[in-house]
Amino acid sequence: MNEVAVEPLAENSSQVIGLDGYSILLCNSAGKHYAIANQCSHQDSPLEKGRIRNGYISCPLHGVRFSLETGEPMGVQLTRVPVKTYEVIEDQSSVRIKIE
């Protein structure tokens, strides 16, 4: 198991984190941090410029929304394949992402 620690993000923002060859998107929605694969399951495009609102991220290419908590796609079903999610541990000074 590997992990990386980073500083907390501003609300409704994201940051790409590279860890062990994975591109992970750390997101802050409503003050809570989530980590998902930085790759839309519809056409393998990066999610990093997607809009973050109410616990979801929208793919900037096609608008498919994914739950930041579960990775499940929502709304218009261009895909039924969820994106990978990663465990996040938060404290006051850092956010840790675990890859197992």
CATH number of 2-99: 2.102.10.10
Kindly list the domain boundaries of the chain, sorted by start residue.
Answer: 2-99
Please write the tens of the pLDDT for every residue from 52-75: 999 999 999 988 999 999 999 987
pTM for the whole structure: 0.91
Show Cβ contacts of residue 83 under 8 Å, excluding neighbours closer than 6 positions.
36, 37, 39, 40, 41, 47, 66, 71
**pLDDT bracket for residue 2 (50, 70, 90):** confident
**pLDDT bracket for residue 76 (50, 70, 90):** low
4 pLDDT exceeds 70? yes
Please write the tens of the pLDDT for every residue from 11-20: 999 999 998 8
1 pLDDT exceeds 80? no
Please count the CA atoms within 13 angstroms of the CA of 67 that sit on its side-chain side.
9
How far is the C-alpha of 93 from the C-alpha of 20, rounded, in Å?
Answer: 23
21: which 2 tokens? 């060859």
